Amino acid sequence: MLNKILIYALLLLSFTASNTFGDWNNKNFQTISEKFTASMAYEKGFAKNVMMSSDEVHLFDMDLLEDDSPGAGWSGKGSFNQPVYGNIMVKKNIYVSDIRANAVYLVFLAQNESSKQLNININGNETVYKTKTQSSWKTVLFNSSWLRKGENVILISCPEGTKQDSWGIMIARKDEFEKGGGDPSKAGLNSFVSTNGGGKWEKNKLGEISNVEGELTIRLSFNRFLEEGWLASPIVDLWRDKADGFMIPQTTIDNLNLICEADAPNGTSVIWQVRYGEGADPLANYWSEYKTIGEGEKISVSLDNPGRRYFQWKALLQTTDPRITPKIHSVTVERKVARINPLPENIYILNVENPEILYSSLYGEYEKFDEPKLKQLRERERLDDAVKGCKTQFEMLVKLCDYVSKRWDWVPPNKQYPSWDALEILDRIEKEGGGGMCNHFATVLVQVAESFGFQARLQNVYGHEVVEVWSDDYGKWVFFDPMQSSNIYNYSKKNGEPLGFKEIHKAYLDMFYPNSPIDWDSYKKAEHPVPKDSPIGAGSFDKNWPRESSDSILMGLYDAAILRIMPRSNWMEKHNPSPVGHGLTESPWNGYINWYDDRTPRMRNRKIFTDREADYWPTLNRVKMYATTGAENDRMFLRFTTFTPDFDKYLVKIDEDAWIQTTEYFPWILHSGLNKLEVRIQNKAGVLGKPSFVEVNLADRPNLLDRVKGQ
Closest C-alpha to 489, from 515, 518, 467, 517: 467
Mean pLDDT on 541-562: 71
**Residue 461 is which amino acid?**
V
pLDDT at 618: 98
Q: For CA atoms 146, 148, 150, 151, give the dihedral sign.
A: negative
Q: Answer yes or no: do 510 and 586 share one domain.
A: yes
Whole-number pLDDT of residue 586: 83
Alpha carbon distance 311, 34 (integer Å): 12
pLDDT, tens digit (0-9, with 9 covering 90-100), for 27-45: 678 899 999 999 999 999 9
Q: What's the domain range around 44?
A: 31-61+227-242+251-339
* Percentages (nearest 5) of helix, strand, coil residues in the chain: 15, 35, 45
> What's the whole-number mean pLDDT along residues 359-383?
96
Host H or E run for residue 377: helix 372-380
What's the pLDDT at 61? 98
Position 703 scores a pLDDT of 60
State how many domains the chain has. Answer: 4
Last residue of a domain, one of 616, 645, 679: 616
Structural contact between residues 146 and 122, judged by C-beta atoms closer than 8 angstroms: yes
As a whole number of angstroms, the distance between CA 337 and CA 252 comes to 6
Indicate whether 425 and 534 sit together in one domain: yes
- Classified as helix, coil or strand, 443 is helix
CA dist., res. 601 & res. 613, Å (int): 16
- Those residues whose C-beta lies under 8 Å from the C-beta of residue 241, and which sit 6 or more positions away, are 32, 34, 248
Hey, which residues does 53 pair with through a beta bridge?
Answer: 56
3-class SS of residue 192:
strand
What is the per-residue pLDDT for 411? 87
Give the Cβ contact number of residue 390 at 10 Å.
14
- Identify the CATH number of the domain in which residue 630 sits: 2.60.40.10
693-709, pLDDT tens digit by residue?
999 999 997 665 554 44
Which one, of 372, 393, 378, 380, lies nearest residue 480 by Cα?
Answer: 393
Average pLDDT over the chain, rounded to an integer: 92
Residues 261 and 292 grouped into a single domain: yes
pLDDT tier for residue 25 given thresholds of 50, 70 and 90? low
In three-state secondary structure terms, 121 is: strand
**Which has more pLDDT, 341 or 395?**
395
Q: Mean pLDDT over residues 273-301, rounded?
A: 96
The residues, ordered by sequence, that sit 6+ positions from 224 with a Cβ below 8 Å of its Cβ are 61, 62, 63, 100, 101, 102, 322, 323
102 part of a folded domain: yes
Do 592 and 504 have their domain in common?
A: yes
Q: Is 336 helix (H, G, I), strand (E, B) or coil?
A: strand
Residue 254 has what pLDDT? 86
Q: How do residues 639-692 score in pLDDT, each as one tens digit?
A: 999 999 999 999 999 999 999 999 999 999 999 999 999 999 999 999 999 999
Assess whether pLDDT exceeds 70 at residue 22. Answer: no
pLDDT at 5: 39
The answer as to whether 367 is a domain residue is no
Per the domain annotation, does 87 fall within a domain?
A: yes
Contact 471, 449 (CB under 8 A): no
pLDDT at 12 over 80: no
Predicted confidence (pLDDT) per residue in 128-164, tens digit: 998 777 889 999 999 999 999 999 999 999 999 999 9
Asked, for residue 289, whether it belongs to a domain, the answer is yes
Residues 418 and 516 in one domain: yes
Indicate if 335 and 349 belong to the same structural domain.
no
Distance from C-alpha of 609 to C-alpha of 600, rounded to nearest angstrom:
11
Q: Which of 330, 326, 329, 328 is nearest to 264 (CA)?
A: 326
So what's the pLDDT on residue 642?
Answer: 98
Q: What is the pTM of this model?
A: 0.93
Helix (H) or strand (E) holding 139: strand 137-142
* 204 lies in the same domain as 233: no
According to the model, what pLDDT value does residue 130 have? 82
What are the C-alpha distances in Å from 591 to residues 375, 566, 586, 594?
A: 28, 7, 14, 9
Digit-coded pLDDT (tens) for 80-137: 999 999 999 999 999 999 999 999 999 999 999 999 999 999 999 999 998 777 889 9
Do residue 459 and residue 478 come from a single domain?
A: yes
From its phi and psi, is residue 533 left (phi > 0), alpha (psi between -120 and 50) or beta? alpha
Task: Name every residue whose Cβ is closer than 8 Å to that of residue 266 and which is 6 or more positions away in sequence.
Answer: none
CA distances from 482 to 190, 408, 564, 677 (A): 41, 11, 18, 38
In this model, does residue 24 exceed pLDDT 60? no
Residue 304 lies in a domain: yes
In a domain, 20, yes or no: no
- The CATH number of the domain where 188 resides is what? 2.60.120
Dump pLDDT digits (tens) for 530-551.
888 899 999 988 766 655 444 4
Q: How far is CA 396 from CA 276, 384, 386, 387, in A?
A: 42, 10, 8, 5
Instruction: Look at 43-47, 174-178, 249-253, 649-653 and tell me which has the smallest mean pLDDT.
Output: 249-253
Q: Which 3 state secondary structure label does DSSP give 211? A: coil
b/e code 617-635 from CB counts within 10 Å (16+ = b): bbbbbbbbbbbbbeeebbb
CA distance 631 to 310: 22
Q: What is the pLDDT of residue 151?
A: 98
Please identify, among 591, 616, 641, the residue that sits at the C-terminal boundary of a domain: 616
Task: Quote the CA–CA distance of 262 and 484 in Å, as a whole number.
Answer: 53
Rounded to whole angstroms, the Cα distance separating 197 from 194 reads: 6
In this prediction, residue 364 has a pLDDT band, given cuts at 50, 70 and 90, of confident
* 293-324 per-position pLDDT tens digit: 999 999 999 998 778 999 999 999 999 999 99
For residues 283 and 431, state if they share a domain. no
Burial class of residue 40, CB neighbours in 10 A (0-12, 13-18, 19+): middle
What are residue 340's phi and psi, to 5 degrees? -65, -40
Confidence of residue 15 (pLDDT cuts 50, 70, 90): very low
- 521 or 25: whose pLDDT is higher? 521
Compare 178 and 710 and report the one with higher pLDDT: 178
Cα Rg for the chain, rounded, in angstroms? 30
Same domain, 202 and 105: yes
Q: Please indicate whether residue 542 or residue 165 has the higher confidence score (pLDDT).
A: 165
Q: Domain end: 616, 635, 667, which one?
A: 616
579 & 671 share domain: no
pLDDT at 553: 58
Query: Does residue 13 fall inside a structural domain?
Result: no
| Domain membership flag for residue 25 | no
CA angle 438, 518, 103 (to 5 degrees): 110
First vs last C-alpha separation in the chain: 21
Please say whether the beta carbons of 635 and 670 come within 8 A: yes
Q: Assign 19 a pLDDT band (cuts: 50, 70, 90).
A: very low
Q: What are the start-end ranges of the H helices in 435-580? A: 438-450, 501-512
For residue 46, give the nearest of 373, 360, 406, 490 by alpha carbon.
360
Same domain, 512 and 551: yes
Q: H/E element holding 348?
A: strand 347-353
Average pLDDT over residues 548-570: 81
